[in-house]
Chain A
Amino acid sequence: MTEEATMIIDDLCIPGTQSTPDIRTDGAAGRIFMQGDSYPENTLELFGPVISWVERYLETGDRPLTLELRLIYLNTSSIKAMMDIFDLLEVAHGKSRIVAVTWYYDSRNERVAELAGEFREDCSFPFDIQPRND
């Protein structure tokens, strides 16, 4: 129990706007959710805390981490920020940590599948891209 207690990191709950996605972390369940478009002018302002959260989570304990993404359009600096997050997962995966990404997309917009697919090319951990027809 004491070991569990030291692993608690404050969760993030960042509500989305027109140009920024909804971002929610659930440290207890080992999950991160992101949903929406991301094209803010200053991406580090938005993703800085998320990157720090992932770093701290992965430094602590050995529990799995799953990213559940419903991201649609990302500007190039958001793409860079997501790559930073995937790089952290890749390093953790190299140390036998269980990490995974599932990216859901509207099957009518193939650009989202292509975007997710290009990220997946650079990752060796499980990275699932799931079309949805809703």
Chain B
Amino acid sequence: MMEASDLYSMREYFTKQHILLCFNGPISRSLIEEIGNALKNYLQAERAQPSAATDVFATYIEMSQNIRHYSINRGYGEQEASATVVIARDETGRYAVSAGNLVEAADGRALLARVTALAGLDKSQLKAAYKEQLHRPRSTEPHQGAGLGLLDIARRSSAPMVASLTELTGEQAFFSLRATI
């Protein structure tokens, strides 16, 4: 069990890592909005440029909604449908948005490959891929998403996204994604 004094070391860690906001647990539609609202307020208080604030907010929304859509599609229960979200500033003051969730290992490997492929594209190639996806007929499934999320994040990022996969026991793995705005 966690000791009260552990909170201090957590606080130290968060401060050292320049973490503005973090969340770990089952994530609902309304929680995504509430955290998003808190994030908007933080960015405003920090006097972030409107364009940077939009990019950070958008990245957070796309990552967390991707996780929700994935968990719903996979029919996950509340615990599996959890998300870990961290919004921080890196050593150069840029915003870093990270999110992770449990996935089927095979899906995780496919996602890793997708992120690696996107990392090799420049801004104009990313735009072309985004436009192509935008004009593709949509899926009729309500939680399929538009397939645009990762491309949108990549376009808002100032460096290629970084993804990692931690294989767990069984067929599951923890997928995490980090974007630097």
- Which residues in A have some Cβ–Cβ distance to B below 8 Å? 18-19, 39, 41-42, 44-45, 73, 75-77, 79-80, 83-84, 106, 108-112, 118, 122
A44:B142 contact, CB within 8 angstroms = yes
Q: Which of B113-160 contact A (CB under 8 A)?
A: 131, 134-135, 138, 142-143, 145-146, 148-149, 151-152
CB of B62 within 8 A of chain A?
A: yes
Rounded to whole angstroms, the CA-CA distance of A39 and B148 in the bound complex is 14
Given contacts A83-B135, A108-B50, A111-B54, contact A76 B62 (CB under 8 A): yes
Question: Which of B37, B142, B151 has a CB less than 8 Å from the CB of A42?
Answer: B142
11 new A-B contacts, CB < 8 A, other than A84-B138, A109-B51, are A41-B32, A42-B142, A45-B142, A73-B54, A73-B58, A75-B61, A76-B62, A83-B134, A83-B135, A110-B51, A111-B50
Rounded to whole angstroms, the CA-CA distance of A24 and B154 in the bound complex is 33
List the B side residues contacting A73 at CB < 8 Å: 54, 57-58
Q: Which of B16-57 contact A (CB under 8 A)?
A: 29, 32-33, 36-37, 50-51, 54-55, 57
Rounded to whole angstroms, the CA-CA distance of A19 and B69 in the bound complex is 17
Rounded to whole angstroms, the CA-CA distance of A106 and B54 in the bound complex is 13
Shortest Cβ distance from A17 into B: residue: B33
10 closest Cβ contacts across the A-B interface? A76-B148, A80-B146, A109-B50, A111-B54, A77-B146, A41-B29, A111-B51, A76-B152, A76-B146, A39-B61
Given contacts A18-B37, A41-B68, contact A77 B145 (CB under 8 A): yes
List the B side residues contacting A45 at CB < 8 Å: 142
Rounded to whole angstroms, the CA-CA distance of A118 and B152 in the bound complex is 13
A76:B145 contact, CB within 8 angstroms = yes
A80:B134 contact, CB within 8 angstroms = yes
Rounded to whole angstroms, the CA-CA distance of A83 and B151 in the bound complex is 16
List the A side residues contacting B61 at CB < 8 Å: 39, 75
Shortest Cβ distance from B151 into A: residue: A76
Question: Which of B37, B57, B65, B148 has a CB less than 8 Å from the CB of A41?
Answer: B65
List the B side residues contacting A108 at CB < 8 Å: 50
Rounded to whole angstroms, the CA-CA distance of A11 and B62 in the bound complex is 31
List the A side residues contacting B143 at CB < 8 Å: 42
Smallest CB separation, A73 vs chain B (Å):
6
A75:B142 contact, CB within 8 angstroms = no
Rounded to whole angstroms, the CA-CA distance of A110 and B49 in the bound complex is 10
Question: Which of B32, B57, B68, B134 has a CB less than 8 Å from the CB of A79?
Answer: B134
B135:A109 contact, CB within 8 angstroms = no
